[in-house]
């Protein structure tokens, strides 16, 4: 494992851990719905930046309906409903 891999892993752990601290500190102030909306908005912006850097935004726009349905069903999944789709264009 290279030094950059270790540093990226530490950065990931810091981001992951700080999100729990952020949720605990702000849940009472914002409320759960607003907090979820903030987190989803931040995640969306990060993923859009990633898509733009990889020059894959056109492919995302082409498949946005399928991705929306998968995201909706995976978020509302209560009985381990799984849908497989080829998402190699994102990576």
At residue 15, the pLDDT reads 85
Predicted TM-score (pTM) of the model is: 0.56
H or E stretch covering 82: none
pLDDT band at 75 (very low <50, low <70, confident <90, very high): low
31-58 core/surface letters (b: 16 or more CB in 10 A; e: else): eeeebeeeeeeeeeeeeeeebeeeeeee
Please compute the mean of the pLDDT values over residues 5-29 and round it to a whole number.
88
For the cut 90, the answer to whether the pLDDT of residue 7 exceeds it is yes
At residue 19, the pLDDT reads 81
Tokens 């930046």 sit on residue: 49
For the cut 70, the answer to whether the pLDDT of residue 86 exceeds it is no
For the cut 90, the answer to whether the pLDDT of residue 6 exceeds it is yes
Q: Which of these, 83, 56, 80, lies nearest to 68 by C-alpha position?
A: 83
């Amino acid at each position: 494992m290279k030094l950059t891999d270790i540093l990226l892993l530490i950065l990931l752990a810091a981001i992951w851990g700080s999100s729990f601290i952020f949720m605990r500190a702000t849940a009472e102030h914002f409320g759960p719905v607003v907090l979820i909306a903030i987190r989803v908005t931040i995640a969306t912006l990060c993923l859009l930046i990633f898509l733009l850097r990889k020059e894959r935004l056109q492919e995302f726009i082409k498949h946005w309906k399928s991705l929306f349905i998968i995201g909706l069903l995976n978020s509302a999944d209560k009985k381990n409903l799984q849908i497989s789709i080829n998402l190699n264009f994102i990576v």
